Structure 1
Amino acid sequence: MILDTQRRTWAYACALAIAAVATGLVVSEAGYGLGDPWTIVALITVNAVAERSGVWITRTLQLSIALLPTLFAAVLFGPLAAGLVNAASMLGDSELFSRPDPERAPRLKWATYTSTRFLTGVAAGFIALGIKGSPASGLGRLLAATLVAALVAEILDILSAGITARIRGRDIRDVLRPLAPLLLTSVPLYAPIVAILALAYSEVSPWTAPLFFIPALAAQRLFGMYQQQRQFAQDLKRANMSFAEALVATLEKSDRYTAGHSKAVAIYSRDITKRLGLSPDVQERAYLCGLVHDIGKIGLPASLLLKDGPLTLEERRQMQEHPAIGETILEKVDLYADVAVVVRHHHERIDGEGYPDGLSGSEIPLLSRVIAVADAYNAMTSHRPYREAMSSRVARLRLAQAVESQFDTSVVAAFEAILASAGEDYRMAKREDFDPSGYSAIERLLSEEDVEPRGDPEVAVGVA
């Protein structure tokens, strides 16, 4: 698998390099020049510095203001200049002059991104020239040229980033999710500024070029603020998860049967929501709700929780209080208000015969319906003193028999699709990540979104 990925990466890099060289030769032969050499040198310097001081949005995604100088070159000097300026941003890459690391192949990464950026710059240059028309174009045409060229460059950058991520086995959506809001908000902000500066350069004086640093610094500051916001959000998620895991650890000390059950329900719930096509935020919320779904058992007598046998009717009535107790515990924490509602209703039934409120159908929150399925399945496939664990096949048959009465049909269907293709260690919650003392699935997800750089970005996009 690793060898195949390396081969695909090398093939992709070679194809890009050949395309970049061929494009450069064709553009040069077509008569497109570099414009004023000192301005080009200055733009290359700005781009290299911008890349060096880029902001890490996640551990694999770095953003810089490298597109601003590229657009400036595109609207003033054309495709060859824009391609060169954009490609030269990689001179600021921190690994270019470092000792090679065979595991990360920084030279291969550098060659890939250099070729990509050259091609992106050339495309932006042709677009800008085509819309701008004559050198004496007014602000309107310059603005249109800059906007369209910026959009094309952004789309090509993100497309390249998605291809790179795909080659490395990552979900393209993991690339698009953090980039989309920046793309939608940044282009209308900086394109007019670049157009005005280009007009001042061509109509007033080349000495107006230093004014370019003002929007460049402002954009860099905007990236920094965005990075801080994401870091704060990640810290808050970790605090939430630590609180939830502390609650579950407290419960597991008083109820030995709960150990591992909460973790399994959390993982199954997260995977079901992913199969249903719900957003990553909902998947995280499902994991959290699954982790604390039985937290109300803290309020029940230990003799009830540890009873080695079937419950009496009175004991069953007491046990049915735990969803409401869980809600009472969680709703006291502001950030857990929506979790509390899900926990309260995870024992409701589709036919309205559940508890505590007798809700039915769509009245039951979706995540409560998800947890109900995950909870029942793991309970059936877990050993108890008064019965042996059911096989996965039998438990899945029981779930199927209870659709439209106890369980949501779409949720059961999604879970069945997951279990049908999973290994036995997953079906019986024996896989390493089901260990309640192990590294949580949500922590792995958060670590991938962490803004702390790991040194080899899978995506290094020059976005302004």
Structure 2
Amino acid sequence: MGSPEAASIDVSSGGSARVTLTTAYVVIIVLGAVAMLLGLFWSRGEWGHAFSFSAGTWGVVAAGLVFVAAGVFADHFRVRLGKGIEVSASFLPDFLAVTILGPLAGAVVSGVAVVSYWQKGQLLRNLTIVGVFVLSGGTCGLIYFLLGSQFVPPGEAISGLGLAVGGIVAGIAYQLVNFMLFVPIAWLRRSLRPVAYFKEALQPFLLFHIFFLILSLGLVYSFQYSGPFGFALFFLPVFGLIYAFRVYSREMELAKRLERFSLQMAASMITALDLKDNYTAQHSASVAQYSFDIACELSLSKRQCNLAHLAGLLHDLGKISVPDEVLGSTERLTSEQWEVIKYHSVAGYRVLCDMTEFEELSKVVLHHHERFDGTGYPEELSGEEIPLLSRVVSVADSYSAMVSDRPYHAKKTPEEAVAELERQMGRQFDPDVANAFIRVLSRAGREYRTSEDANFQLQFQKIRFLRDIS
């Protein structure tokens, strides 16, 4: 289950219209939660028979406290996925309360168990979180009762097929209601669209949610057929699973931090290189944008397009190994100096391949100077032996170099550079890739075609790190 820190609504920030909308939405959530609790309380006599726990009012209260404690434990081990996004395994005790104790107890447990999310002085935040989980738990309970009771005779507890069908649908409903109620908050607080919020808060843990749903149904079954003692034997190991969820989540969090750090280190190397040769950063920015646009024109996947963008940005990383007098030479390079320059693709590969997150990226960088006819470097690959994204970066790199002023050649006009791309199709360039770029250029303005608007920092900010690449 996800809880956006976006729900920690700060009414002192943002425009007045957004603040008003946020406050109004919180009021609607709270009123909806109150109406849910009152409705469930008044109608409890209609569905009480459908649930297998029959220990009286105080027994239900005691069992509810157990589930609240389990929920608090699960929320204590929640993990932050990013700014404003936290997830935990508390769906499991919430769902057990719903299916064993009924909709009213489930709604109360779901709302109270999020006490660990509360923050002093954050009234709107606290009310929003409680309201959302009361509505999630209550909706889950009602769907479980309404659907599950269709598979058993009137007056009997939900079991068997009713437990399976009603439980699965109710569990899905819990997650959907939780997600949908937090979507407006994520947008109002962070301008985060539903798809982006789904990818941050729900998608990474779909398998865990499915696992916990199946586990919950098994625990409910054990309660129905083994009683409270047998249920307790099965339930205690669940605390270990909740802790394992935390460990797994923490590993993901640490991996993302490492990926971000690695990328920032690589970008810092490009910035350092630009101090030696102020052409590099702007050139890398234009190659990144061109590579991304070519990949999109070729209808590659979003992952491949983002990888092309990052490869374009870091393709000259290996030039950090080139001596200043060679890199900045205004004279024709000797054969020995040319060999030093050619080594930069291998050097870039060696820097990136040492970072496990960039293994595929490193191979794109390694081969971006291969030629389609097999006369390139470092391995003289030809045709489709060359990775597709290396062929993409090669076209983008060459065009950007042609329309830029360098000590050893005057810049070409965009028209002259396009003519050179056409002449080198099948020799230096993959014809399909070169034609795709020519189509992109034909639709673009002059600033784009001359790469005058290229900005390294802007291109770096566009990167969605490895969660968009992997």
Q: TM-score, normalised by structure 1?
A: 0.71
Aligned to 2:19: 6
Q: CA deviation at 1:125?
A: 1.0
Q: Which amino acid aligns with 2:116?
A: G
Is the counterpart of residue 130 in structure 1 residue 150 in structure 2?
Answer: no
| 1:434-445 alignment runs, 5 A limit | 441=461, 445=465
Considering fraction of residues, name the structure with more helix. Answer: 2
1:86 aligns with 2:105: no
State the secondary structure of the residue aligned to 1:170.
coil
Query: Shift of residue 226 of structure 1?
Result: 1.3
Q: Which amino acid in structure 1 is aligned with residue 107 of structure 2?
A: G
Secondary structure of the residue that 2:192 maps to in structure 1?
coil
2:454 is matched with which residue? 429
Tell me which residue corresponds to 2:203.
180
Partners of 1:427 and 1:122 in 2: CA distance: 58
Please give the secondary structure, in 2, of the residue aligned with 1:108: helix
**Are residues 329 and 202 of structure 1, via their aligned partners in 2, closer, same or farther at CA, if it must alter by over 3 Å?**
closer
- Contact persistence 1:83–1:118 (CA under 8 A): yes
1:149 is aligned with what amino acid? A
CA distance in 1 between counterparts of 2:350 and 2:226 reads: 68
Task: Classify 1:184/1:296 alpha carbon distance in 2 versus 1 (closer, same or farther; 3 Å).
Answer: closer
User: 1-side partners of 2:182 and 2:275: how far apart?
Assistant: 47
Contact 2:270–2:317 (8 Å) recurs in 1: yes
Match of 1:156 in 2: 177
AA at the equivalent of 2:135: L
Question: How far 1:147 moved relative to its partner?
Answer: 2.9
For normalisation by structure 2, the TM-score amounts to 0.70
- Listed as ranges, the gaps of 5+ residues in structure 1 are 101-106, 435-439, 450-464
* Aligned match for 1:113, one of 129, 135, 158: 129
**Aligned CA distance change for structure 1 residues 182 and 432 (closer, same or farther; 3 Å):** closer
Letter in 1 for 2:249: Q
Matches within 5 A, 1:16-55: 16-31=29-44, 36-55=60-79
Residue of structure 2 in register with 1:338 after alignment: 360
8 Å CA contact 2:100, 2:220 repeated in 1: yes
Report the counterpart of residue 437 of structure 1 in structure 2: none
Which amino acid letter does the alignment assign opposite residue 206 of structure 2? L
CA spacing shift, 1:222–1:139, aligned 2, 3 Å? farther
CA distance in 1, matches of 2:213, 2:419: 56
Shift of the alpha carbon at 1:229? Answer: 2.0
Aligned residues: 427
Deviation at 1:214, TM superposition (A): 1.7
CA distance in 2, matches of 1:164, 1:258: 42
Distance in 1 between the 2:28 and 2:415 partners?
A: 48
The within-5 A match list for 1:329-408 is: 329-330=350-351, 333=354, 335=356, 337-348=359-370, 352=373, 355-356=376-377, 357=380, 359-360=382-383, 363-376=385-398, 378-379=400-401, 382-384=404-406, 395=414, 398=417, 402=421, 405=425, 406=429, 407-408=433-434
Q: How far did residue 347 of structure 1 move?
A: 3.7
User: Over residues 70-118 of structure 1, what are the superposed CA-to-partner deviations in whole Å (9 max), with x where a residue is unaligned?
Assistant: 21122223333322222223322141xx134xxxxxx333333333222
Contact 1:83 1:120 in 2 (8 A): yes
Q: Give the whole-Å Cα distance in 2 for the aligned partners of 1:172 and 1:396.
A: 42
Q: CA deviation at 1:269?
A: 4.6
The percentage of aligned residue pairs carrying the same residue is: 23
User: Distance between the aligned counterparts of 1:145 and 1:45, measured in 2?
Assistant: 25
- Rounded Cα–Cα distance in structure 2 between residues aligned with 1:214 and 1:155: 28
SS in 2 for 1:65: coil
**Partners of 1:83 and 1:421 in 2: how far apart?**
60
- Does the Cα contact within 8 Å between 1:295 and 1:322 map onto a contact in 2? no
Maintained 8 Å contact 1:59/1:448: no
The amino acid of 1:57's aligned partner reads: L
Q: Quick one: which amino acid aligns to residue 231 of structure 1?
A: E
Following the alignment from structure 1 to structure 2, what is the Cα–Cα distance between the partners of residues 193 and 296? 51
CA 1:82–1:331 in structure 2 vs 1: closer, same or farther (change >3 Å)? closer
Q: Which amino acid is 2:29 matched to?
A: L
Once the two structures are superposed, what CA deviation does each residue of 1:125-171 show, in whole Å capped at 9, x if it has no partner? Answer: 12222343254444554344333322222233334444443443224
Is 79-88 or 200-209 further displaced after alignment? 200-209
The one-character-per-residue Cα deviations of 1:44-73 (angstroms, maximum 9, x if unpaired) are 343344334422233432122321222112
Amino acid at match of 1:10: T
RMSD over equivalenced CA pairs, Å: 4.7
Change (3 A) 1:5 1:381: farther
In 2, Cα distance between the equivalents of 1:266 and 1:12? 41
What residue in structure 2 maps to residue 306 of structure 1?
A: 328
Letter in 2 for 1:60: G
Q: Is the 8 A contact 1:33 1:77 kept in 2?
A: no
The structure whose RCO (Cα within 8 Å, separation 6+) is larger is: 1
Per the alignment, residue 216 of structure 2 pairs with: 194
Shift, 1:259, TM fit: 4.7
